Amino acid sequence: MTDATKPITRLDKFAKFGKFASSLGTGLSVISTLTDVVAYSEGSLSGTRLAYRSVGTFGSISVASSFGGPYGALVSVGFTGLEKAYDATEPVRKEIVNSYGQFKRTLTSSWVKFK
């Protein structure tokens, strides 16, 4: 050993591409959140949804950085999937709320009549 440091490993083409790809992933996440901020300022996105997406984005970046890319991707897919599921079930949820309201109204009016 003649040096106080290990030689710096020069990245090969594959490693450079991997590093660029992960940087691109981080960059896309940040840009995606900023695009949501613009949508929020225009009034086309609610504050709750902006907060949810921001937590999802920064959560997935933190998990990717702390535990590895696949785990970060899993968190990201989980957050996106939940949001899509929430949107997809909106008619059903509305129907359930309406039916419950109807049921409650019927029950209340019957109770009043009974009294």
Partner 1 sequence: MNTYRVTINTHFRFLLSTLLYVVIPVIIGVPLILYLKRGSFDIDIAYSIGVWGVLLLFIPKLLIHLNYYFENKNMVVYYEEAKKQLRVADTKRDVTFTMQDITKITEYKTYPKAENRTTWMPWDDYHYSLVELRNGEKFYFTSLILPNLDLPIDKSKITLKKRFYPAIW
Binding site for partner 1 (CB under 8 A): 1-8, 18-20, 22-28, 30-32, 34-36, 38-39, 61-62, 64-69, 72
Cβ of residue 77: shortest distance to partner 1, in angstroms?
Answer: 16
d(CA 51, CA 42): 16
d(CA 114, CA 102): 18
Q: Which two tokens stand for residue 31?
A: 């840009």
- Of 2 and 48, the one with the shorter C-beta distance to partner 1 is 2
Cβ of residue 66: shortest distance to partner 1, in angstroms?
Answer: 5
